[in-house]
Amino acid sequence: MEKKYDSSSNRGSVTNRETSIIFLTKKKLIRENTNENTEDGDEIFKETWSDIEIENLIELSEIKDFDELDIYR
């Protein structure tokens, strides 16, 4: 099972931006919609891959309060 984090910013059914962090490979993908006047399904995405620095991966069972979770610490 792939361990990753996904997030998106949307305007109705149109996706403005998506972020995926793949913890095992230590990679981050940002997909940004470059078509400002898009309708549903007409998005054009610019993809940017980058490395992330993570020293210690944590297990879901170790998280006591998801509201307090800070993956950037």
pLDDT tens string 27-49? 999 999 999 888 767 899 999 99
Q: Is residue 73 part of a domain?
A: no
| Residue numbers of the domain that contains 20 | 4-68
Residue 73 has pLDDT above 60, yes or no: no
Structural domains in the chain (count): 1
Cβ neighbour number for residue 14 with a 10 Å cutoff: 14
Q: Is residue 41 part of a domain?
A: yes
Instruction: Tell me the mean pLDDT in the region 20-28.
Output: 90
Tell me the two tokens of residue 26.
């230590």
Q: Is residue 43 part of a domain?
A: yes
Residue 7 has pLDDT above 90, yes or no: yes
Q: Is residue 57 part of a domain?
A: yes
Q: What was the pLDDT predicted at 71?
A: 65
Q: Is residue 11 part of a domain?
A: yes
pLDDT tens by residue, 45-69: 999 999 998 777 778 888 888 888 7
**DSSP assigned state of 64:** S
Q: Is residue 12 part of a domain?
A: yes
Give the residue among 11, 51, 14, 1 at the shortest CA–CA distance from 29: 51
